[in-house]
Structure 1
Amino acid sequence: MATKLFLLMILLSHVASSFSEWCHPQDKMALLQIKKELNNPTILSSWKPNTDCCKMNWYGVTCFHSNNRVRDLIISNDNKLTAKFPLSIDNLPYLESLFFDHLPNLTGPIPIEPISKLLKLRTLTISSTGMSGPIPNFPAQMKHLYNLDLSSNYFSGTLPYSLYKLPKLGSIFFYNNSLTGSIPPSYGYFNNKNLPSLLLSHNQLSGKLPISLARLNTTVIELSHNKFEGDASMLFGSNKATREIYLSQNLFTFDLGKVELSKTMTTLDVSHNQIYGKLPVGIENILSLNVSYNNLCGKIPKGGNMHLFGVNSFFHNKCLCGSPLSNCK
């Protein structure tokens, strides 16, 4: 009798544990397959079949309380993880955030087919990895995607043309790659309600900026350390919500004195170009400024925040004068 009671208690404990497990069976199976595809790295040693993936026990995994589905997957800072991008990622249909960061031995191209099936995805970060190849055109069906961070990898080729079709896209971080070619005219047609940030610095992009960028109302635009040329004045505008513009280390040539700064502008770096003209009206309201190594002329205004800037913000221009440079004649 005692033996039967003992066995019954064991059975009931197993039943209770199965009912108390949060992790959805499909998601748990998918995560274990992803672990296998990543070659069972030590960083994922907490992913064990006999434990619950949704009770904060599994590294990098968080779940929705409402339906016990995996919401976020974050794997980062592992020099020993050596693998390709896991194709089984598409078996996590409720995933909202996918974050692969500082994984230098994660290699290969972006597998767009499985990623494009993550229809609830809001944030995709593949940063500081060994991944390479072209950046694909993410399909419009990924209508919730807001943050796309593919920075500091080895991606090459041209910028994907159809990103503007993603209705909620608000952050585009492609800096520190090996991208070539020009900015597509379609980039002037992002949804301006999102105030998108466009960070493309430290690539090998070139050519003239499309006139359509005049339509773009960005928070931050970062084009420095490329090979762009010609006019960039369309990026400015008094009615825009732009806070920061970085254009340094290019071949831009336009009259800076004719641009209108946004009322929200805090940072302007146009150094190391071939920009000419005077300093624009309202520049004294900026908090961070660098116009050095250009062909600017005229008197540096006083007042506002101009006392914050030293010689390095203005030197190596054609004929700028006034404090902190030499007096105007």
Structure 2
Amino acid sequence: MTSGDSGTTVVVVTWRGASHITACLDALAAQDRPHRTLVVDNASDDGTAALLAAHPSRPEVVRLRRNAGYAGAMAKALDTIDTPRVAWLNDDAEPAPGWLAELEDALAAQPLAAAVTSRMELPDGRTQSAGVRLTADGHGADLTEPTDEVFGFCGGAALLRTDAVRAVGGVPAGFFCYYEDTDTAWRLRLAGWHVVAADARVRHLHGASTQPGSPLFHRWNERNRLLMLLRCAPTVIAVRELARFAALTVLLPLRRDRPSAANFAIGLRWRVLGETALRMPRTLRERRRISRIAALGRGVIWEAWAGL
């Protein structure tokens, strides 16, 4: 199917997805709305490429020479899209047949919205995400109770206006994985756009390609939260959270009751601080660019959404 047949490109990012990519593509082929399917293969070495080539839906495939992560692959995809809408979809997600129609109709009904998030459900039927909220310390956290408007969308399954995403700077490729969706939502809101939710159902294996709770997972999460705040949040909040993270890292060896969770490992936290420091000059330049395109103040967004 060519991009001229539809106003939506569904982007599926995969890395070593041989065990689940076929189910995702089958579900996309069963959608009751036409669309372009674009798979970005992050240099998989497990037979994923052969499965993509053999799938009867014949998805378009961009194969990267190295693993650029979810954020990097999505940024690459955005460069190739000429449809007015772009859907983000995890390779371990299986959307219901009416998923895309629900998202497109919701976006059409909300002209001030730049993104609409899906209802992602775990295999046992529990809701994993019905959108993203902003916590009082600047984390992006999944909502499990449906609501009409949300702070941000879950990047595992969402529909966005392509031009709006490009206008606010695209996808932060340097994040590699995690928080690229919440950072994008921050910038869309700063530009004056809304984010809404739809009852567009997606069955999600969750963590099929990564390992939630692993040291690598926590490293990406902690680093990218700090980078997101430095790029998007009010200065006082960004500085406060960076200082809080650094102070806790310094004091952890002195605590007898040090938590055992991976994100409290001292080596991991020092690595997060080091990576954040190395990225600081570029991050501050990006912050200035975001300020130039913002229609609303950072404090306005924070006061409206933080802690809700």
Q: Given the two structures, how large is their TM-score scaled by the length of structure 1? A: 0.27
The answer to which structure has the higher strand fraction is 1
Q: Given the two structures, how large is their TM-score scaled by the length of structure 2? A: 0.29
The answer to which structure has the higher helix fraction is 2
Which of the two has higher C-alpha Rg? 1
- Of structures 1 and 2, the one scoring higher in RCO (CA 8 A, sep 6+) is 2
